[in-house]
Amino acid sequence: MLLDNCLSINWRSIDGIWNVLIITIISLFDVDLPVLTQNKEKFEEIGTTVVISDKKVINICNDKWLTYQFLLKNGFYVPKTFISLEKALVNVKNEQISYPLIVKPRWGMGSIAVFEAENEEELKVFYEKTKRNILKTYLKYESQEDIDTSVLIQEKINGQEYGLDIINDLYGNYQTTIAKVKYAMRSGETDCAVTIADNRLKALGKKLSSCLHHVANLDVDVFIVDDKPYVLEMNARFVGGYPFSHMTGVNLPLAIVNWLQNISFDKKLLTERINIMGQKDINLVRLHIKPEVSINKIRTEEQIYRTVIEMQTLLTPSLTERKIDLQSYSKKLCYYGEVWRIQDTQNRIIGILAAYMNDK
């Protein structure tokens, strides 16, 4: 009902486009959320429901400084966070916090412009670098509200990381919490996780729900430190961790469809299976292009080394100009990765393809 009619439309016909009624909008992108929540009523006037939390909730989740204040006010454990470089340095001097410290955007996502400072010099450099990077990316849109305080400095906490999907209905009523242990991350997104039964995390999810009254999914990052659950960040939308809940039997999209149509459903629709591990995968696909190329796997350290040397002519600046030890680089690729040589019909190298896992 929400999508099938759209797929059957001939999109080359402008009349077909204008005759489609978009019943529901669900955004997966932080930058969209403030705009959508602010214009919720305008969408309702044309018969479209935006499945989104209210403006206050979106602001609390998107603005990491407001997140910190909200969590403190409501009695949650949270890492110490500072909105000014000067205050952070004073607290380091007074031994209230210590290095390493995390430097990150106040309005951030996807681990963009996040750095770890080991000392005061790095802290000052990364603080300015984060601000510059914000202005170079789509983070600038929300950060323009207050660019001078768009960078946060946060205490680094060490512990096991968990992800929570805290599910409410469309009226903000609590339904359930799905808890997962995170085993691998990539660009701020969960790559490997396993569902667990943890009453402490379930209770944390229920408390957050009752304080926030969000709509549908709330993604929450939690670290357990000294047996205490520290809440790091919250996202009022579907995020990269939700598929791990979905694959264990939870079907929140279908639940949303049912809620929109006032259809009751069995609670099993939002019940996960425990101890199910998921791993995201990337498959290599060969594309047919002109001129034709051949892609061949190279296996030995010597083959990789020769290929890397050939690649020098294609790079500006070259690897050696970047002060990279080609022998060491080739050895790491051989032992910790997979490498393919890409060449044209005359066996001239035009690139390499490498999948590499850091040995650290």
> Can you give the pLDDT at residue 289?
54
Task: Kindly tell me if the per-residue pLDDT of 360 is higher than 50.
Answer: no
Q: Kindly report, residue by residue over 343-354, the tens digit of the pLDDT.
A: 888 888 888 887
> Can you give the pLDDT at residue 165?
98
Residues in the chain: 360
Flag the least confident range among 167-176, 294-303, 314-323: 314-323
**Packing angle between helix 85-93 and helix 120-136, nearest 10 degrees?**
160
* Residue 334 CA: distances (Å) to CA of 102, 111, 281, 328: 33, 28, 21, 10
Q: Kindly report, residue by residue over 103-155, the tens digit of the pLDDT.
A: 999 998 878 889 999 999 999 999 999 999 998 888 888 888 788 899 999 99
CB count within 10 Å of CB 71 equals 22
Q: How far apart are CA 213 and CA 218, in angstroms?
A: 10
Domain extents in the chain? 80-156, 294-356
pTM here is: 0.73
Ordered strands of the 349-356 beta sheet: 293-298, 337-344, 349-356
> Can you give the pLDDT at residue 278?
86
Helix (H) or strand (E) holding 269: none
Per-residue confidence at 20, pLDDT binned at 50, 70, 90?
low
Arch. (CATH architecture) of 80-156 = 2-Layer Sandwich (3.30)
